[in-house]
Amino acid sequence: MAYRRFFCNLDLPSRTIENRNSTIEHRPWWQTGVIYQIYPRSFFDANGDGIGDLDGIRRKLDYCSGTLGVDALWLSPFYPSPQKDFGYDVADYTAVHSDYGTLADFDRLLSEAHERGLKIILDFVPNHTSEEHDWFTESRSSKDSDKRDWYIWKDPVEGPDGQPGPPNNWLSNFGGSAWEWDETTEQYYLHLYLPGQPDLNWRNPEVQEAMFEQARFWLERGADGFRIDVAHAIMKDPAFRDNPPNPSGEGFHKHRGAYDEQLHLYEEGHPDTHRVYRAFRRLLDGYSTDSDRIALGEMHIYDRGEWASYYGQPRADGTRDEMHLPINFALLKADWTAAGVREIVDSLEAILPRGAWPNYVLGNHDEPRLRTRLGGKDQARQAAVLLLTLRGTPMLYYGDELGLEEVEIPPEEQLDPWGQNVPGLGRDGCRTPMPWTSESDTAGFSEASPDQLWRPVGEANRRRSVEAQIDDETSVLALYRRLLGLRRETPALHAGSYRPLDRGVPEGCFAYLRTGPDRDRVVAAINFTDEALTVPLPAEGALLLSSRLDRRDETTGERLHLRPHEAAVVRIA
């Protein structure tokens, strides 16, 4: 069985440190730690203008590293930008948008984070710039511009109707053709997202060098790595062939629109992309000791083998040569059943090449809030147990630790272009302000008046503030804190192997054994049904935690009883 290979074979790159009684494997922080994603616009507003900022994040560092106990913060973009795609349209990669503060604020945030042992990961947006970036202004000014070939310009092509039209049938993720006609020079330019986000031409070596230079800017300031936006699409088919139709009509992206009617063969996942990430890894390694500056790639590649190829080729030291963690989005699209979730975990374990470390995500700024998506608070609690007990680095989205719900914002009020162009897909509702206190109208997010907030807090979410939950021993926040603490102090959880349990485990329950380098053993079991279930354990156990946090000091014997939709973690002999 596939799992055996992984159970028997702890094949991770590691240095070995001898300890008096045991052998402890040393692993890099990004394998044992937990990454917390912050949407800077919505975390904390330090200057009262209704928009979150870098100084706001700095003021909440104690919450991140102390109260919660995460290891790294990934910050969505805070660079100068016309904000057509809320910062993913970058007008200058080496500065800070005035909404978020200044470079000095960044330096202070970074240094205070580092004092607490917290890493800071920045968002790197290499696929496209804003149309307001100087490079694009220059490029679009003339066909003879030095920067013309920094973007992707094409002549019109005669369509089936005999009329001149776009060079091929590629579509924008935000709706419509991916080609925009530019009057000044009478050519089309490519934009896989908004027309205001022209795609860079990564086949031009000058572009690669210029973009790497932008990354160096932040590495030299001390940034601990990058989440790479649209990492799967930076290289396009050099022949710009038409995409074929998608016969199943089912979209991996679940855009539910014309976008899913094509197979995105020629603008996503081009094999030449590998050489860019190999070079990027060399860049990061040049700034690292012990591989500690990292690349997390937004890899929307749904063939699992192909996805895993972005870890790169093996190197002599046992590591691989591309991304530390190509982000694994599979759980976001999972059927929320024991079989559905297990299939995703087992197939990931089976596909991971030697030296590659797994990772999981259950929420981010592009997806409806976890609790809303999964259908309720019990499911949100199960999800927390799952995410923080699986083998692999968890990525946690701010506010999910409070059980925040999607805030309902009607399409006509959505600021997100997706919400405006594709009904039902607006992302504003998962990007709303973090509620810190329940008493204030702005949930302690800002001193501005509620109508000045860039997005509403949402009444239900206001009641779920940090303050409202912090002293409640059974709150969702308490659950996350307990799980994060447990994961940190339990080698089986942060470094151990994974083996799914089968014998006698009832249908509707997903249970797995984690075994640490020192042979400590933990079972996590999740009941996905609305009935009580009993799970046989491999040995006698002691309950460490229930997702409801209302069971204490229980020994389980060799049988664990789970209530409907309950998840539990048990230490076993």
DSSP 299-352: ----SHHHHHGGG--B-TTS-BSS-SEE---GGGG--SSHHHHHHHHHHHHHHP
- Least Å distance between CB 53 and Ca ion? 4
- Out of 11, 149, 366, 540, the only residue in the binding site for ligand NOJ (CB under 6 A) is 366
Taking the least distance from each CB to ligand NOJ, the nearer of 28 and 417 is: 417
Cα distances (Å, whole numbers) of residue 170 to 63, 119, 156, 303: 44, 38, 14, 20
Q: List binders of Ca ion among 157-186 (CB under 5 A).
A: none
User: Which of ligand NOJ, Ca ion, none does residue 71 bind to, with CB < 5 to 8 Å depending on kind?
Assistant: none
Taking the least distance from each CB to ligand NOJ, the nearer of 85 and 131 is: 85
How would you label 26-38 residue by residue, b for 16+ Cβ within 10 Å and e otherwise?
Answer: ebbbbbbbbbbbb
Taking the least distance from each CB to ligand NOJ, the nearer of 85 and 401 is: 85
Amino acid letter for position 360: Y
Tell me if 61 sits within 8 A of 118, measured CB to CB: yes
- Taking phi over 0 as left and psi of -120 to 50 as alpha, with beta for the rest, 444 belongs to left
Q: Is 47 a binder of Ca ion (CB under 5 A)? A: yes
Of 12-20, 41-49, 221-229, 261-269, which segment contacts Ca ion by CB under 5 A?
41-49
Taking the least distance from each CB to ligand NOJ, the nearer of 409 and 486 is: 409
How would you label 457-473 residue by residue, b for 16+ Cβ within 10 Å and e otherwise?
Answer: bbeebbebbbebbeeee
User: Which of ligand NOJ, Ca ion, none does residue 41 bind to, with CB < 5 to 8 Å depending on kind?
Assistant: none
Amino acid letter for position 1: M
Taking the least distance from each CB to ligand NOJ, the nearer of 229 and 400 is: 229
Amino acid letter for position 29: W
Judge residue 319's burial from the number of C-beta atoms within 10 Å of its C-beta, 0-12 exposed, 13-18 middle, 19 or more buried.
buried
Q: Is 259 a binder of ligand NOJ (CB under 6 A)? A: no
Amino acid letter for position 552: R
Q: Is 39 a binder of ligand NOJ (CB under 6 A)? A: no
User: Which of Ca ion, ligand NOJ, none does residue 229 bind to, with CB < 5 to 8 Å depending on kind?
Assistant: ligand NOJ
- Least Å distance between CB 145 and ligand NOJ? 24
How would you label 90-129 residue by residue, b for 16+ Cβ within 10 Å and e otherwise?
Answer: bbbbeebbebbbeeebbeebbebbeeeebbbbbbbbbbbb
Cα distances (Å, whole numbers) of residue 222 to 122, 278, 425, 453: 11, 21, 36, 32
CA-nearest of 240, 237, 247, 244 to 273 is: 237
- Out of 45, 85, 229, 298, the only residue in the binding site for Ca ion (CB under 5 A) is 45
Per-position x/- string for 53-92, each x denoting binding to ligand NOJ as judged by CB under 6 A, each - no binding: --------------------------------x--x----
Which is catalytic among the residues 53, 71, 229, 349? 229
User: Which of Ca ion, ligand NOJ, none does residue 320 bind to, with CB < 5 to 8 Å depending on kind?
Assistant: none
Name residues whose C-beta falls within 8 Å of residue 500's C-beta, 6 or more positions apart in sequence.
Answer: 3, 342, 345, 346, 510, 511, 512, 513
Cα–Cα distance, 98 to 88 (Å, whole number) = 16
- Least Å distance between CB 140 and ligand NOJ? 20
User: Which of Ca ion, ligand NOJ, none does residue 51 bind to, with CB < 5 to 8 Å depending on kind?
Assistant: Ca ion
Q: Is 89 a catalytic residue?
A: no
Amino acid letter for position 524: A
Residue nearest to ligand NOJ (CB): 88
Which is catalytic among the residues 260, 298, 322, 367? 298
Total binding residues toward ligand NOJ, as defined by CB under 6 A:
9
- Out of 193, 226, 436, 512, the only residue in the binding site for ligand NOJ (CB under 6 A) is 193
Per-position x/- string for 287-306, each x denoting binding to ligand NOJ as judged by CB under 6 A, each - no binding: -----------x--------
Q: Is 267 a catalytic residue?
A: no
CA count, 13 A, side-chain hemisphere, 291: 23
Of 40-48, 83-91, 111-119, 266-274, which segment contacts Ca ion by CB under 5 A?
40-48
DSSP state of 77: P
CA 517 to chain centre: 27
- Out of 7, 12, 49, 460, the only residue in the binding site for Ca ion (CB under 5 A) is 49
CA 401 to chain centre: 15
User: Which of ligand NOJ, Ca ion, none does residue 85 bind to, with CB < 5 to 8 Å depending on kind?
Assistant: ligand NOJ
Q: List binders of ligand NOJ among 201-230 (CB under 6 A).
A: 229-230
Q: List binders of Ca ion among 51-80 (CB under 5 A).
A: 51, 53
| Site of interaction with Ca ion (CB under 5 A) | 45, 47, 49, 51, 53
Active site positions, annotated: 229, 298
| Site of interaction with ligand NOJ (CB under 6 A) | 85, 88, 125, 193, 229-230, 298, 365-366
